[in-house]
Amino acid sequence: MLIHKIKDYNFPQARFARFVLNQEICTGCGRCVTSCPIQLLEIKDKKARPNERYDYFRCITCQNCVAVCPSGAVKIEGDYRVDQGFWKNAHLFEGTKTLPNPLGLAQNTPFEEYADKLTETERVILRRRSVRMYKKKKVPRELIARVIEAGRFAPSAGNNQPWKFVVIDDADSIALINERCKKALKIVTWLTLPHPWGKKKTPGDKSASLKAWQQALLPLLVTLKTGEVEPRARGGINAAASDPDYDIFFGAPCLILLLADKRGIGDIDLDLGICGQNMVLAAHSLGLGTCYVSLAKAISFYKDLKKSLDIEEPFRIITSLTLGWPKGRIDNPVARERPRISWIDKL
């Protein structure tokens, strides 16, 4: 019984979504490969396909490949579901993911058929995608300031504004931060994944397994750091840590660190999340792209780097945002899980 429980914590028996490609219209451009945060795709014979690095890592249904495909050759079928154990989630969802339907129209009505009936705010929210492909063109500082100003006017507990922003728009500096963060992330993969997976290899060693001490440690880590060692999160961390060429900031010309004053009123993490989303929506309304990259929290392991970035008490890193000009069209509506709603008429 205990062995089964440990397995449920470590490697749940999940049902993954499937990457489906229309071979006839795939151009082999590789945009889906670049945009996959778990590095699950490759180009083979001028067509995209899953690379099956390891049995454990499969599609997390982020739908980035669908959004960036210029020919509409990609679709994702199915969803990530776990039927039992600690990570059980199948009972939490009704049906599969669906496209936006703010007006209650017939299911799968194309977005462009009703987009003009929505407000500009709704259009930005529904089209916005995390951007992982950027042009090298720098973002003018006046535009960066506009994005930050949108964050400044986000609501916060007690109108406290517990935030601080660190802006890095020098390519060499961002590259240095990337390398230092990846070194710290390797420690996470060493603690939580089979060691052969710590080096990028396709196909990977599918027979690799956790060591006994890792199996004993993981339930504790799951209890203390649930979201950060969630199985899919470990896959994302491994993608970054195992590949020497992986850039956790995706070549973006600008990186904004979001810091919180630990003495702020109420839930400062929530306040910073609201602030960041204001910035994200403002950026996309300006034609810029963004991506939340919380792997940047690894900066906290380095005293010298924190000092150079002017990160000192009482501030701590909550997350970061990449900012830049997207390569090609990326913002596109994609399917999301159906909302869980309990309508309460009267108690």
What is the domain-level CATH number for residue 264? 3.40.109.10
Output the CA torsion sign for 205, 207, 210, 212.
negative
Closest residue by Cα to residue 283 from 122, 164, 165, 131: 131
At 249, is the pLDDT very low, low, confident or very high (cuts 50, 70, 90)?
very high
Which pLDDT belongs to residue 11? 77
Which pLDDT belongs to residue 1? 47
Burial class (CB in 10 A: 0-12, 13-18, 19+), 135: middle
Q: How many whole angstroms separate alpha carbon 170 and alpha carbon 173?
A: 5
In contact, 113 and 238? CB cutoff 8 Å: no
Instruction: Look at residue 231 and tell me if it is in a domain.
Output: no
Mean pLDDT of 46-57: 83
Q: What angle do CA 148, 151, 155 make, to 5 degrees?
A: 160
Range of the structural domain that residue 162 is part of: 130-169+253-324
**pLDDT, tens digit, for every residue of 178-231?**
999 999 999 999 999 999 999 888 888 888 889 999 998 998 999 899 999 998
Instruction: Look at residue 157 and tell me if it is in a domain.
Output: yes
Closest residue by Cα to residue 335 from 79, 109, 126, 100: 100
Instruction: Look at residue 235 and tell me if it is in a domain.
Output: no
Instruction: Name the domain count of the chain.
Output: 1
- Strand-pairing partners, residue 44, are 47
Q: Measure CA 9 to chain center.
A: 22
Which pLDDT belongs to residue 108? 82
Instruction: Look at residue 303 and tell me if it is in a domain.
Output: yes
Instruction: Look at residue 183 and tell me if it is in a domain.
Output: no
Instruction: Look at residue 339 and tell me if it is in a domain.
Output: no
**pLDDT, tens digit, for every residue of 63-120?**
999 999 999 999 999 999 999 889 999 999 999 999 999 999 998 899 999 999 999 9
Instruction: Look at residue 262 and tell me if it is in a domain.
Output: yes
Which pLDDT belongs to residue 253? 98
Q: How many whole angstroms separate alpha carbon 3 and alpha carbon 313?
A: 43
In contact, 254 and 321? CB cutoff 8 Å: no
Instruction: Look at residue 145 and tell me if it is in a domain.
Output: yes
Among the listed ranges 71-85, 158-172, 272-286, which one has the minimum average pLDDT value?
A: 71-85
